[in-house]
A and B are shown apart, each in its own frame.
Chain A
């Protein structure tokens, strides 16, 4: 009887094991990142700025000496930080869900070519809209929406193309998946190069902006467009967490366990195209967030999508805000494009992860 109790305990322990500590750490990290992001910048570094601005905005202290800095905080830094949270969360969740769906730790919107597909869509629309708005100036205000829609379509086309190229015999062929991603990426580079060649100066400047990735264009307007779209998309992915969990066992197992696999894959591809397309349309291509964030979380917790999606969202948001803050501070008053920064930090980090994994499996580099 006693030994039976001893055997029972691991089950009880495992099920009652709380994931709350990690959740709280991530929430604190996100809050800290946002606080820093609002406090630091080219105009003024001051850690009490967020509080001051809050007090100002609530109207408690109308006699503040300078309102210019508070305007900067309220109308430039705050929407930018919120954009960082939204886009970082979206890219991380996109990476996490693609990794689960493809059952491969290398899946990521960047490596699979979805981001560059979105960029081609966005660039094509920038190029076309320059021509179109000259002819019909009244259409100019739909610019941001048109670019988003084009980016979503570009992302969807590449997502489906890559996925179907790699699908054979009811299984995803991983080498084909990555090769298809490489092919789509270089095709995108060529297409973007073509648009660059054809574009006039103004369009060219706008196009260059997308390609490097930046949160610099953030405004309350862009936050108000992104918040409902990305919020909905993240919720839709979280709702499918159990199906993604079952997909980890393979498509046949998932199907036998009651998952409508074809429908779930189709839905996940569309949601990912939506997320990546919208994120790219507003901030350009930001690499490595989708790849690295779920990997960092797997170091501290397991792969259970019950928690992985929410945790990825928080860590992705925090990391992108931190990276953006760094990009504003490092070369102030100039700004480093954030896409360069995430790649610069993300790539070596990813290599370190690979080495660590190799060692864990008993290999020596």
Chain B
């Protein structure tokens, strides 16, 4: 059971955004998508989410093309965190998370249990009764993470195989919250949820992801385990940057330090 992308091509006009993308996210794995700005990471995530249609190729969840699912069926199988989530009217943080339960038939005590669970996973339970619009960028990001998690948990006949697609889920977080949030995501993966996250911090991606996909100008320039993917030549190719490569003292995962060019 997996979310599988096959021979994906996406272009707008004559501009090719993605070409020949093949990747797979088995349930329970944590996949990081990395690459330079404009490499096509968000485009890839939007196509996987079903928001944009590919020109050719397919995205399948459990061997069925995502466009054959209805919007509500798809919402049970996968949840999506876009790069930006704005709210135009005041709502309390807990109401924002509760929006994920709008289409489910849960009673109040079930909702309470679920909301408490999801909000504590991302350290936002103490913000429950605060106006979302007054929260900081990082707090909003964690509230939104709690919301998309609640969406996956909201179905009473919960699917065994569910997927979370996250576009830069930790971009606004402080150092402590980055690790906390990635721990929480890792836990979700252990519980069987397949996670695909666009990440910019290569060291965090190396520490937490099981598998990395490196995008460059719309094609996959490398993919594999962090040990296979994170090396001097691949980073030079994808990011045009020279790095020192070390092993993380705790986990032996590859750990990079960019060199300063004079």
Contact = CB atoms under 8 A, between A and B. Distances in A.
A248 B87 contact: yes
A250 B103 contact: no
B94 A302 contact: no
Interface string A127-163: 0000000000000000000000000000000000000
A11 B115 contact: yes
Nearest to A6: B126
Given A8-B116, A103-B88, A253-B85, A14 B71 contact: no
Given A11-B128, A14-B129, A258-B76, A252 B82 contact: yes
Contact of A12 (B87, B96, B112): B112
Interface in A223-278: 242-243, 245-246, 248-250, 252-253, 255-261
Contacts of B98: 15
A258 B94 contact: no
Contacts of B70: 260
Interface in A10-52: 10-16
A242 B103 contact: yes
A45 B242 CA distance: 88
Contact of A249 (B51, B79, B85, B92): B85
A257 B100 contact: yes
Contact of A11 (B46, B90, B100, B119): B119
A176 interface: no
Contacts of A253: 80, 82, 85
Contacts of A100: 89
Given A10-B125, A259-B71, A252 B51 contact: yes
B129 A258 contact: no
Given A248-B89, A249-B85, A298-B89, A255 B129 contact: no
Nearest to A4: B120
Contacts of B151: 257
Contact of B102 (A11, A104, A246, A261): A246
Contacts of A105: 88-89
Interface in A304-341: 304
Given A11-B115, A11-B119, A16 B108 contact: yes
A258 B95 contact: no
B99 A245 contact: yes
- Identify which of A243, A253, A261 gathers the most chain B CB atoms within 10 Å of its CB: A253
B39 to A, nearest CB: 20
Contact of B79 (A8, A12, A245, A256): A256
Contact of A10 (B78, B94, B99): B94
A261 B50 CA distance: 13
A47 to B, nearest CB: 39
A258 B72 contact: yes
B49 interface: yes
Interface of B: 46, 49-51, 70-72, 74-76, 78-80, 82, 85-92, 94-96, 98-100, 102-103, 108, 111-112, 115-116, 119-120, 125-126, 128-129, 151
| Pairs of residues from A and B, 10 with the lowest C-beta to C-beta distance, nearest first | A258-B75, A303-B89, A242-B102, A256-B80, A258-B72, A10-B128, A103-B88, A10-B129, A260-B71, A14-B94
15 contacts: A8-B116, A14-B128, A15-B108, A15-B112, A245-B99, A246-B102, A249-B96, A252-B46, A252-B82, A255-B50, A257-B103, A258-B103, A259-B71, A302-B89, A302-B95
Interface of A: 7-8, 10-16, 99-100, 103-105, 242-243, 245-246, 248-250, 252-253, 255-261, 298, 302-304
Given A10-B129, A257-B99, A302-B90, 14 more contacts: A8-B116, A10-B128, A11-B116, A11-B128, A103-B89, A243-B102, A246-B102, A252-B82, A256-B49, A257-B151, A258-B71, A259-B103, A302-B89, A304-B95
